[in-house]
Structure 1
Amino acid sequence: MAYSELIKNFDNIRSYMRDFFIYGFKTRGEYDRKSARSYDNERRRIQSYLGKLVTFNQNASGKRMFISLDGRSVTHNPLYQAFKSKSFTNKDITLHFIVLDILATGNEYKLKELLEVIDADYLSCFNHPISFDESTLRKKLKEYEKLGIILSEKEGRTVRYKIVPDEVKLEPYREAIRFYSEENPLGVVGSYLEDKLEPDKEYLTFKNHYIMNAYDAEIIEAVLQGIHEKRVIEIVKFSRNENQERRWQVIPLKLYVSTQGGRNYLLCRGATNRKILSFRIDYIQEATVKDIYPGFDEALEEFEKMSKHMWGVACTKDRKFEHIEVDIQVGIGEGYIVRRLNREKRCGNIRKIDDETYRFSADVLDAYEIVPWIRTFFGRIKAVRSDNAEVVNQLKLDIVKLAKQYEVMK
């Protein structure tokens, strides 16, 4: 098959981007899940819309491709371009413009009336026109109805089609759309809306710009649909340890978004084993929405109770709670430290011990998840106690390393 820069299967692009450009930095020879030719074609497609952002280095094992980009230097996510590079057939693109041109008048048409107009007003202008039958046109109309582009009205056995009126004026929402397109997990929707607006001077910049979330959009859409409609979803996840794909039937309950690393997580319950589980969205290859789950509200209530003892996404139900206490020094006039403690804690309590000490305490499923946050209070920590001795030892080791780094101790 001849090479084309247009994308037929977005899952392939997502897989290559994850394995080569983001996590693996593999060479062409190290990738054995697809043929070398497939890799070359996908690499060329990625380079066609990312341009100079794709670079490489050469070493003894070969050429390694990767993306070189400072997220703070771009204000429009360049990865959205992949969604706008979908492949199509000659019939698809021809029928697309003809049908929308006919319906743009606002009139209603029966299926046969549309075919007659297509033949008489459009195809008759060509010596060797493309032919369309009723089945092809009906499928295209159903596709556009599902996408919300057209409406159908049934009168007896007759179905009439018309275009959905575009009554929304986007200009008053320009700023909201601009922000949404870069900050929301489904920001690609905002990017499409921005394409309809006249270009304007850039007025936004981002300190933390997590552009790789663009490739999670289709998975997140299925997850959010499952949550909203209370349905089971089937996810496909590739296990690197087992070197094979695994399928899971789960009830999606929450979508967690990390404000620190930008990663998205699916919090769910197994449809058969009823265990609360968490999956990184960028590790999920496919997500398919299935049937309505009758026990959704019960599962959500169970998760809400558990979430009161979750600092991050660790949600092993069988694990006992781990108690942790941290005494933090707060001097006179340092009320901002107390406000920060109350603002940033995700669970647990803050209690005043004396005039210069406040205690954070919590019972959590995994005390290790709190360690990065506790580290931000180094220099103020007076004592740490926990059921998990490894957590205490890790914090002590961190303090020793820090002291040696600043030559406070040898």
Structure 2
Amino acid sequence: MARESFDKEIQFLRMLALAGGAYNRQQFANRLGISVHTYDKTLRSLKEMLGTLKQGLSQEQGSVLSDGFHYNYYESADPLLLFLFRAKSLKETESIRLALLLNALQSRELTAKDLQDHCSEQMPADYPIPDEKTIRGDLKYLEEVGVIIRLHGGRPYRYKAANDLIDHLSDDELLDLFDYVDVIANTQVPSVQGFLLRATLKKALHKRGFEPDTGETHRYKYHYHSRILDEAHLYTIFKAIQQRKKLQFLYLSPKKGKSYASQNSNPLFERETEGTLQTALPLRVVYDHQYGRWYLICHGQRGIMKFRMEGLTQLEEGEAVTEEEFDQRLHIVLEQMKYSWVTDTLRTLKVVARFYNPERSGANFVRERVEAQGQWGTIREETDSTFLFEITVNGIYEIKPWLRSFGSSCEVLEPAWLRKEFIAEWKEIQGYYEPVRENL
């Protein structure tokens, strides 16, 4: 799949997940900065891609595009957004061919010639028939990523799907493994690889005759769809960091109206882009648990630069830098972000807050949450019902929502101006709840 197309479909799915049915076709296209024709074409492409990845499933097992976005508080659906990862960087013919190869090797041991004959019979009529060299290249790729294994013996080599681990597990062991992977995939970041493993185990359970909802023993709320989509760039960035390479990308600020910019190859439709071209050396990736956002921290023309990962498009590797330069840039970033609650590099200040323990007996969820999320802050006992939390942070704006989220269980003491801001905010909220009439 072309890189630009993948960027467009990431933004397309993000908006579809977050906005749901709030936009009509024209509004949706305008928000993306594309035509209605391109909107229809992209939607059709996504449906065809999903159909390709679901081939071989019955009508009950398959799903339509909109099913992945039906929101239910008590339901944990397979994130539809993940199917982009299965199709990323693959041409349409490759995705169909690899699916055919994997399906054929699930229950049989076959040679490259056998698989070529199988693909020739099963490939759609409007797609080219693969030759033996192409099939061998596909098999080499699948073997490298661990999806299939080559059996011992002489030529011609035989291949089979790498299902030994799953096949050797009992039904109870497979269910336990699925439950474990399900919990980790829904609660840890990054999570995409966990969801892909979860999908594989779910198929294995179905092959053994279990109902589709057998493993659904846990229920989760909203998965931060944008977070999962942003992981599309995560491994490219990690690779660039490991190889000390710069990145080139078009950045679309989330504060602006457009979330996608096409590559204008046709001069008749050329228009000024809404984004900014950037070349920077990636140094760190930061995840904000409060809002489910990924941030890229890098060094560019203006020194330390921070980008919301959802705004990265057309990501490409650039030239490499020396190890000495990378270490120097990284040292500066680590020093400036030493007291960053998330990514702020403003001047440091001390924050002191009083937390109130729950009045009822049992688990002290306030204390447990402060200990788990308070980072390098210190806790000092004050009374039986209260404790003090002190922390030095870069700026106040990133920690402020966290303090506010405790409601009446948190009282800000220092700095004084922040305490006044909280008082003003709570008075404003109180005003919203004032009765319209005194006798109401």
**1:309 Cα deviation (Å)?**
1.2
Change (3 A) 1:394 1:138: same
Query: 1:98, 1:399 → 2: CA distance?
Result: 61
Residue of structure 2 in register with 1:193 after alignment: 200
Q: Which amino acid aligns with 1:17?
A: L
Moved more, 330-339 or 188-197: 330-339
**SS of residue in 2 equivalent to 1:43:** helix
Residue of structure 1 in register with 2:343 after alignment: 313
Query: 2:400, 2:94 → 1: CA distance?
Result: 58
Is 1:279 the counterpart of 2:307 in the alignment?
yes
Is 1:368 the counterpart of 2:368 in the alignment?
no
Is 1:394 the counterpart of 2:390 in the alignment?
no
Write the deviation string for residues 198-230 of structure 1: whole angstroms up to 9, x where unpaired: 244121111453344332332223234445666
Change (3 A) 1:159 1:82: same
Query: 2:204, 2:121 → 1: CA distance?
Result: 35
Contact 2:10 2:229 in 1 (8 A): yes
Write the deviation string for residues 127-152 of structure 1: whole angstroms up to 9, x where unpaired: x9966556645654554455444679
Residue of structure 2 in register with 1:266 after alignment: 295
Contact 2:248 2:316 in 1 (8 A): yes
Q: Which amino acid aligns with 1:40?
A: D
Identity %: 16
Contact 1:76 1:182 in 2 (8 A): no
Is 1:346 the counterpart of 2:342 in the alignment?
no
Write the deviation string for residues 328-370 of structure 1: whole angstroms up to 9, x where unpaired: 5669999945555434323333334677764333322121222
Query: 2:396, 2:129 → 1: CA distance?
Result: 66
Q: Which amino acid aligns with 2:311?
A: Y
Write the deviation string for residues 223-269 of structure 1: whole angstroms up to 9, x where unpaired: 344456665444442243771243343324234141x43x2313422
**SS of residue in 2 equivalent to 1:215:** helix
Is 1:174 the counterpart of 2:201 in the alignment?
no
Q: Which amino acid aligns with 1:167?
A: D
Contact 2:148 2:159 in 1 (8 A): yes
Query: 2:101, 2:15 → 1: CA distance?
Result: 40
Query: 2:26, 2:122 → 1: CA distance?
Result: 51
Contact 1:325 1:361 in 2 (8 A): yes
| Higher share of residues assigned strand | 1
**SS of residue in 2 equivalent to 1:249:** strand
Contact 1:328 1:382 in 2 (8 A): yes
**RMSD in angstroms over aligned alpha carbons?**
4.8
Any unmatched runs of 5+ in structure 1? 1-7, 55-66, 153-157
Contact 2:355 2:387 in 1 (8 A): yes
Change (3 A) 1:302 1:377: same
Contact 1:256 1:266 in 2 (8 A): yes
Indicate the structure whose relative CO is greater, using CA pairs within 8 Å and at least 6 residues apart.
2
Is 1:11 the counterpart of 2:16 in the alignment?
no
Q: Which amino acid aligns with 1:35?
A: S
Query: 1:99, 1:377 → 2: CA distance?
Result: 50
Change (3 A) 1:174 1:382: closer
Residue of structure 2 in register with 1:249 after alignment: 280
Write the deviation string for residues 9-49 of structure 1: whole angstroms up to 9, x where unpaired: 44332122234552595443343532321211323455785
Change (3 A) 1:250 1:125: closer
Moved more, 26-35 or 98-107: 98-107
Query: 2:119, 2:44 → 1: CA distance?
Result: 36
| TM-score of the two chains, using structure 1 as the length reference | 0.68
Contact 1:223 1:287 in 2 (8 A): no
| TM-score of the two chains, using structure 2 as the length reference | 0.64
Q: How does 1:233-244 map to 2 (within 5 A)?
A: 233-239=247-253, 240=256, 243-244=274-275
Query: 2:76, 2:144 → 1: CA distance?
Result: 34
**SS of residue in 2 equivalent to 1:367:** coil
Is 1:36 the counterpart of 2:66 in the alignment?
no
Contact 2:286 2:296 in 1 (8 A): yes
Write the deviation string for residues 138-187 of structure 1: whole angstroms up to 9, x where unpaired: 654554455444679xxxxx998966754322626222222244344214
Moved more, 304-313 or 322-331: 322-331
Write the deviation string for residues 69-121 of structure 1: whole angstroms up to 9, x where unpaired: 235323433433455678865687458746985899768x8xxxx56x67889
Query: 1:121, 1:405 → 2: CA distance?
Result: 68
